[in-house]
Structure 1
């Protein structure tokens, strides 16, 4: 009985007591009627009392299972948004961006102030409060002069598309009023023509036009902007047929036949000129490699001595960007750039180490001056 709980009511206890008394009375009666017989003790399992207790215990277990607690024993709800701070992330990001922007602006203003030594607006003020207006007037005057110089340069580079009836010769004479020194031809270069008894012009202008002609090329950066004009002075006695071919192409404005092939920064620019099928340049050439010294100056036009036996389909020549003494004896110089050196310096930024162009260079116009 110790293994069952005693959580029963009073009526059930009374019923159990009565059942036990009746059982004891019936046992005494049986013992009087029968003789006592010695027998082996038997273990009695069960009985009415045990069955009643088992029934009551099962009923108690069912009531316990169906019991509902009146106390809230559930765990509290987990507020993830409050703990992680998700709702405040946007506000914190906006504050961070505003603070970063203000810091960058402050650093930029400090850098400008240090570079100009305070000659700009301070960070917290929008207007410079000067004691005198003379510095501001001087700055305005310098700005006006700089704008006038830039405007004058643009005007000088303008070329009219309308035929005004004035020749290029008269326009050049009007621009250049300073007299030039008479042309002196090198005697070593002219000595080889004495046997032919070639009549030479007497005037210095005609002599320059024959032995020192000038041509120009307008260079354009592909898909970007025009770079400007370069003027080339040719040396006829260095390579007569090559100079003649360049003059013919420029007089006919055959700028599309000039193709920029390769460009090596701080070295040279390689250009090809397409030739006609019956061009005399495909035959052995007459040349004088001692007319121009490659180590004396930059921006020299030259071609390799490998072509003295004749060019194939194009006239290949190069424009050097610096003095190249090492090519004396291996290349023939026949021209030199006399105007537009800044343009040659600019175009070097569009070349690579292997000569490939990063941006295309085009000749948009050419002519004879």
Structure 2
């Protein structure tokens, strides 16, 4: 048989055609990975059945352990002819005591809420039949020892001097998104710090409720607040006149500020605190310039909205209204 020899050109051409054919070959076997159903793999639809099966097995194991314990205690001796004793009913006294404890806790919270609720309903009861609650008022005593340094100033009469040295302001607190907290009436001591008292009197007289903020609340200690001052009424920290002998921190609702942290005064802001209880340890450390004459129960009702360590507010507390009474 005669073998025909191909030329070099024809042989290269056939080799290229063969390589191209190899590249274009498609396998008959499907090499695409199958699609897996996530629901079948995770068995999400059978989780409830698995939980029920697990709970059933757990109950069976508990019952088995209980029976093994009974057998080990009686030594395997069972009297099948003895009547089975009836189990005595459990006492409901612990459950009733627990329910009473929950009811008392709810009543305490409800009582704190009622302390801060007022009414505008006219009951048409004669005024002399109403029960009047006597409130402790702060007695005005002329601070002669402190005013001695102002001997060159001619003092006004006693009636006017009381209004100048003891102005009375009020704050209406509101727990945002929940309820009104109530009103706190505060009597200011001008001789303690005249510039700070004047700033509060101006803010309350103008009703600038948007310029005072409650930043933090430490339960059992105080409220951290901030008063924004206009540029023309800015107080310079180095020029603050104060006297710590005018008022002590021996009553709840004491209004005070510290001289060590008045860096905010450079930013036209005055930081102050409103104490929740008497804090005699602050005497000589903070300047007290006011004390609450009424509304201390409002402070008690708001303590639940502050965190103990950080003082962060769980509910925003705002001042809905403020004003000058005297």
Partner residue in 2 for 1:368: 324
Partner residue in 2 for 1:250: 204
CA RMSD of aligned residues (A): 3.6
Partner residue in 2 for 1:192: 149
C-alpha displacement of 1:338: 1.0
Tell me: CA distance 1:329–1:266, structure 2 relative to 1, closer, same or farther (3 Å).
same
Moved more, 306-315 or 217-226: 306-315
* Bigger relative contact order (CA 8 A; separation at least 6): 2
Counterparts of 1:310 and 1:346 in 2: how far apart (Å)?
Answer: 29
Matched, 1:311 2:265: yes
Counterparts of 1:254 and 1:314 in 2: how far apart (Å)?
Answer: 14
The 8 Å contact of residues 285 and 308 in structure 1, kept in 2 or not, is answered as no
Deviations 1:200-224 (A, max 9, x none): 1243xx3321111100010000111
C-alpha displacement of 1:187: 1.6
Counterparts of 2:205 and 2:304 in 1: how far apart (Å)?
Answer: 30
Counterparts of 1:255 and 1:181 in 2: how far apart (Å)?
Answer: 25
TM-score after normalising by structure 2: 0.57
C-alpha displacement of 1:272: 0.3
Counterparts of 1:157 and 1:326 in 2: how far apart (Å)?
Answer: 44
Partner residue in 2 for 1:266: 220
Partner residue in 2 for 1:276: 230
Partner residue in 2 for 1:354: 310
Matched, 1:201 2:165: no
- Of 185, 188, 194, which residue of structure 2 is paired with 1:234? 188
Counterparts of 2:299 and 2:134 in 1: how far apart (Å)?
Answer: 28
SS in 2 for 1:207: helix
- Of 198, 214, 227, which residue of structure 1 is paired with 2:168? 214
C-alpha displacement of 1:240: 0.5
- Of 223, 237, 242, which residue of structure 2 is paired with 1:287? 242
Partner residue in 1 for 2:179: 225
- In the alignment, structure 2 segments of 5+ residues that lack a partner are 1-90, 101-113, 123-131
The 8 Å contact of residues 225 and 273 in structure 2, kept in 1 or not, is answered as yes
TM-score after normalising by structure 1: 0.51
Matched, 1:340 2:303: no
Counterparts of 1:363 and 1:181 in 2: how far apart (Å)?
Answer: 24
Counterparts of 2:313 and 2:222 in 1: how far apart (Å)?
Answer: 13
C-alpha displacement of 1:307: 6.0
Counterparts of 1:272 and 1:155 in 2: how far apart (Å)?
Answer: 30
Tell me: CA distance 1:274–1:181, structure 2 relative to 1, closer, same or farther (3 Å).
closer
Tell me: CA distance 1:217–1:344, structure 2 relative to 1, closer, same or farther (3 Å).
same
SS in 2 for 1:209: helix
Deviations 1:211-262 (A, max 9, x none): 1110001000011111110000000100011111101100111011111111
